[in-house]
Amino acid sequence: MQQEPTSSVQAAVKYITDTGEKRLIYVPSEAGQDNSKWAGLYEDHIISIHDGRQNDEPFDIDRQGFALVDQRSDVADFFDDAQIASVYETEVAQLLKDMTGATRVHIFDHTRRADSKSMREQKVVREPAGVIHNDYTDVSAAKRIRDLFPADEAEDLLSRRFSIVNVWRSSNGKPIETAPLALCDARSVDDNDLITVERHSKDRIGEVQQVIKNDKHRWYYFPQMQPDEALLIKTFDSALDGRARFSVHTAFEDPMAPDNATPRESIETRAFLFF
């Protein structure tokens, strides 16, 4: 049964507990398999997640670290890599330039996810990310540039401000009804709340941030995200001028989802923005 809209929901999210352990390792799942491995102690906490659609203050990636934007796409099939390369990447690059003033956008990753085990196996995609995290640290953001660009160009890019922004959206032409994203206002997150965790994938080792519970955290989500909407999530910014540098987020089980909800299918596109 569809429930009436509310200004917030109570839901469980998974925080890491600081045990003092110095080296923690995360191994992401392989597409089509639910085999992520997280080292560390994690605990579910029931929190209030506010309806961002009812917020009085506009969201901005330089202020809260995330924003919901309108973005109609001409992509007919988000599982068609050719359409992603020829159509969607052009759309995303223009969107990010328009929204941020970046002079250059370099798209370097697309991750597809599904909230249905059978769909994950059928389409060989990953599960929703169910632990509170941010995708990059100072170290791993710089390393990613050095991995992707020639040495001379990388050092030049690192000498100027750059950021990493994820563009996250529905990929099946339907609203997001299950496993939506909860996003924490960057202004409510203290540096001491963040723990660096090594990320070990098949081809490289990087770093992500995970999060210790703090009652000051203020969480938001955007219920029933439509196919023509996208979330901009800033996962790194090299600027140290007071703007949001990171955006911690997680999928969660929405208690307001209708009984016959369509399992979420989504795609997140990661891009470097250079200024």
pLDDT tens, 93-112? Answer: 999 999 999 999 999 999 99
Which pLDDT band, with edges at 50, 70 and 90, does 34 fall under?
low
d(CA 60, CA 208) in angstroms, rounded, equals 22
Pull the structure tokens for residue 264: 């979420």
Mean per-residue pLDDT, 81-93: 98
- Check residue 24 and give its pLDDT: 82
pLDDT at 2 over 50: no
Mean pLDDT of the chain: 93
Instruction: Look at residue 52 and give its three-state secondary structure.
Output: helix
- Check residue 96 and give its pLDDT: 98
pLDDT digits over 220-231, tens only? 999 999 999 999
pLDDT at 71 over 70: yes
Which pLDDT band, with edges at 50, 70 and 90, does 199 fall under?
confident
Amino acid at site 112: R
Number of helical (H) and strand (E) elements in the chain, helices listed first: 5, 15
| Comparison of pLDDT for 40 and 132, the residue scoring more | 132
Mean per-residue pLDDT, 226-244: 98
Read off the pTM.
0.93
Q: Which has the closest alpha carbon to 160: 232, 108, 104, 244?
A: 104
d(CA 174, CA 154) in angstroms, rounded, equals 39
Which pLDDT band, with edges at 50, 70 and 90, does 1 fall under?
very low
- Check residue 22 and give its pLDDT: 72
- The lowest-confidence range among 12-21, 24-33, 124-133 is 24-33
pLDDT at 155 over 80: yes
With a pLDDT cut of 70, the percent of the chain lying above it is: 93
Contacts for 19-28 with beta carbons within 8 Å, 24 or more apart? 23/198, 24/195, 24/196, 24/197, 24/198, 24/210, 25/197, 25/198, 25/199, 25/200, 26/197, 26/198, 26/199, 26/200, 26/208, 26/210, 27/199, 27/200, 27/201, 28/126, 28/199, 28/201
Q: Which has the closest alpha carbon to 141: 174, 168, 108, 171?
A: 108
d(CA 216, CA 45) in angstroms, rounded, equals 14
